[in-house]
A and B are shown apart, each in its own frame.
Chain A
Amino acid sequence: MRAKKTSSIKKVDAFWGYTFIIIPFVGLILFSIIPLIMTIYASLTAWPLGQSFFDAKFIGLKNYKELFHADLFWKSLGNTFFYMIGIPIGLFLSLIFANLMNRGTGYENTFRVIFYVPVVTSIVAVSFVFQRLFMSDGGVINTFLQNIGVTNPPNWLGHPQYTKWVIIIMSVWKGLGSSIILYIAGMQGISNSYYEAATIDGATGLKMFRYITLPLLKPVTFYLIVTSVIGGAQMYVEPRLIFAANGPANSTFTTVIYLYDYTFSNSRAGYGSAIAVVLGVIVFGLTALQLYVNRRTSK
């Protein structure tokens, strides 16, 4: 009797359990898994975008061969990775600011709110603003640099050596508030007893930060790195809007712009799919690598 009852409870649990998760799963299959399989297959075909997917001609690895021999592809990949320099810079700055904004003073919450403003604002609007701020003559940045004595400020938008830094600076500025908030949340989760014990042992502020705060914030750092890398690999809007034609010497060109142009402007959806697969593999590989490193160093 009792066994029967538990099994019926189990059935009821299973019914509701599956019912609640079925919708997100259908979404995952419909909008991610099926398209992913289609992308992988399409990457092996010659498929003009206008033509039906099922009529696409199978050509084996030809798209990949062409892709790996295309200088523009490697250039775009190099640029995409170069932008990720902003990730450690952002993490470093946000750790410092999180510390400065977590000292129990009355005014900190105002600063938290202000630093978070760029996070919520439209990347489209912000890109147009930064484009103007970085103008070489009359732009706010260079006017400021000249005022403090830099006689020959960089040609931010016109010289391939500087163009990427416009985007890196903007990305750091835009993402800072978000990392700061997550770091502060992490810091508030650390029990005070650690610090009390360390104080008794005579540890000073910097040492406590190095040996208590930093290690205990590792999950936050890990989360931030993973999400920033996944996001960074998909860089598209900023270079597209700030540098209308991929920047001087294609210096701001990214892999997703390459993918977009080949697919939607040149209608070569098969080739575009090959780019999409490589991008997916890179994101997946980088995430897996980070999970692996995180696990090894956690032991």
Chain B
Amino acid sequence: MKKKKLIADVLIFILLSLTAIIMLYPFIWMIFTSFKPKLHVYLTGLLPEVWDFSSYVQIWKEIPLLRGFLNTLLYSIPPVLIGTFVSGAAAFSFAKIRFKGRDMLFLMLLIGLMIPFPSIMIPQFVMFSRMGLLMGPWTLILPKLFGNIAMIFFMRQIIIGIPDSLIDAAKIDGCNYFETYVRVILPVIAPALSAHGILWFIAAWNDYLAPTIFVKNPIWQPVTVMIAKFNEQYAINTHVPRIMAGSVLLVLPVLVIYGIFQRFIIGSFMFSGMKE
């Protein structure tokens, strides 16, 4: 019996390792290719025979990369922080505070999840245009400040599990609901909330469709759009290493952040996840 389990363990380990290579291979290929000279991409070896950094130099010369990264940070950090705080408060309200029409309002909010972005992007574009926002950064900041419905949904599930006695104790100590939220609820939900916050930050970092429509001023474009343009231009004359260098720059910062928080992100799903 024990021997049988050991064999199963080894076989599964081999299977998972092979699949893991498939999962990571595109990234490995992308990194090595970005360091090859243009014509060497037709050689079959994975590793570059000559290490060539010119693709990165070229990107640096052609696009305002630093500005692009700063723009992306502006679109993905402050609004997500504020939006996360707002979402947590709303989740607390839906989970623990009694008021008229609460569950009805919650359902209404969930319907918002079913409205696909492409169905509303034309009027959003027109509204932003009317407000004169298309030439600046606000179109990618403003909507996030109002919170994130999916996040409210998940946080509500978690807050429901917090014992009422904890909230009552805060009340007896003279806390109003805002103080209760900040001092009692936030510390308890912090791990799950930050994990969802990080995923939202990554989604904002990777966003592509919205900025192509809502940001008309090239200097305010996030780095995704800048690099996509750069890549499309080099796709025409098939300069593969340049395209891959662009892709590496897009992926790397997110991978670093994911690498730092991975245990935390995956772990928080294990707890919060899907308990209905």
Q: Identify the A interface with B (CB < 8 A).
A: 10, 12-14, 16-21, 23-28, 30-36, 38-39, 42, 49, 53, 97, 100-101, 103, 105, 107, 109, 111-118, 120-126, 128-133, 138, 140, 143, 173, 176-177, 181-182, 184-186, 188-189, 219-220, 223, 230, 233-234, 236-237, 241, 244, 256, 259-260, 263-264, 269, 272-273, 276-277, 279-280, 283-284, 287
Report the minimum CB–CB distance from B211 to chain A (whole Å): 11
Q: Which of A12, A125, A273 contacts B250 (CB 8 A)?
A: A125
* Complex Cα gap A176–B16 (Å): 13
Judged by a CB distance under 8 angstroms, whether B152 is at the interface is yes
Contact with A along B172-214 (1 / 0, CB 8 A): 0000111001000000000000000001001001101100010
Judged by a CB distance under 8 angstroms, whether B166 is at the interface is no
Judged by a CB distance under 8 angstroms, whether B87 is at the interface is yes
State the main secondary structure of chain B at its contact with A. Answer: helix
* Complex Cα gap A183–B93 (Å): 29
Q: Say whether B116 contacts A120, CB under 8 Å.
A: no
Q: Say whether A244 contacts B232, CB under 8 Å.
A: yes
Q: Provided the pairs A122-B250, A123-B208 are in contact, do residues A13 and B99 lie with their beta carbons within 8 angstroms?
A: yes
* Complex Cα gap A21–B265 (Å): 26
Judged by a CB distance under 8 angstroms, whether B258 is at the interface is yes
- In the assembled complex, 24 residue pairs joining A and B whose CB atoms fall closer than 8 Å, in A order, are A20-B93, A23-B86, A23-B90, A24-B147, A27-B147, A31-B146, A38-B122, A39-B119, A39-B122, A49-B126, A103-B12, A116-B266, A122-B205, A124-B228, A125-B30, A125-B248, A125-B250, A126-B26, A173-B23, A220-B274, A237-B208, A237-B209, A276-B120, A279-B116
Q: Say whether A121 contacts B118, CB under 8 Å.
A: no
Judged by a CB distance under 8 angstroms, whether B127 is at the interface is yes
State the main secondary structure of chain A at its contact with B. Answer: helix
* Complex Cα gap A53–B145 (Å): 26
Q: Say whether A35 contacts B123, CB under 8 Å.
A: yes
B 146-176 contacts with A by CB, 8 A: 146-147, 149, 152, 176
Question: Chain A residues near B118 (CB, 8 Å)?
Answer: 234, 236, 256, 259-260, 276, 279
- Range of interface residues on B (Cβ < 8 Å): 35 or more
Q: Say whether A114 contacts B24, CB under 8 Å.
A: yes
* Complex Cα gap A106–B26 (Å): 26
Report the minimum CB–CB distance from B130 to chain A (whole Å): 8
Q: Say whether A264 contacts B213, CB under 8 Å.
A: yes
Contact with A along B115-151 (1 / 0, CB 8 A): 1111111111011000000000000000101110100
Question: Chain B residues near A12 (CB, 8 Å)?
Answer: 176-177
* Complex Cα gap A39–B89 (Å): 31
Question: Chain A residues near B117 (CB, 8 Å)?
Answer: 234
User: Which chain B residue lies CB-closest to A38?
Assistant: B123
B 70-113 contacts with A by CB, 8 A: 86-87, 89-90, 92-94, 97-100, 102, 105, 108-109, 112-113
Q: Provided the pairs A35-B120, A36-B119, A269-B122 are in contact, do residues A24 and B270 lie with their beta carbons within 8 angstroms?
A: no
* Complex Cα gap A259–B213 (Å): 13
